[in-house]
């Protein structure tokens, strides 16, 4: 578990940024109100 919330500099470093280069193909996503994430755990 995380006990430390981190610093503002760490939060800024983890934000999405533009990728440069010719191989970059941006994907435009429509905004949504809700998502569902399903996680399968095998024991």
Prediction pTM value: 0.33
Query: What's the rounded Cα separation, in Å, for the pair 4 and 32?
Result: 30
CA terminus-to-terminus distance, the chain: 21
Residues 18-28: pLDDT tens digits?
777 776 676 78
Tokens 């995380």, residue? Answer: 2
Residues 1-43: pLDDT tens digits?
567 778 889 888 888 877 777 766 767 889 999 999 999 999 8
């Amino acid at each position: 578990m995380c006990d430390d919330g981190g610093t503002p500099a760490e939060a800024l470093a983890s934000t999405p940024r533009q990728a440069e280069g010719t191989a970059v193909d941006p994907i435009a996503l429509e905004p949504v109100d809700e998502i569902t994430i399903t996680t399968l755990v095998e024991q």
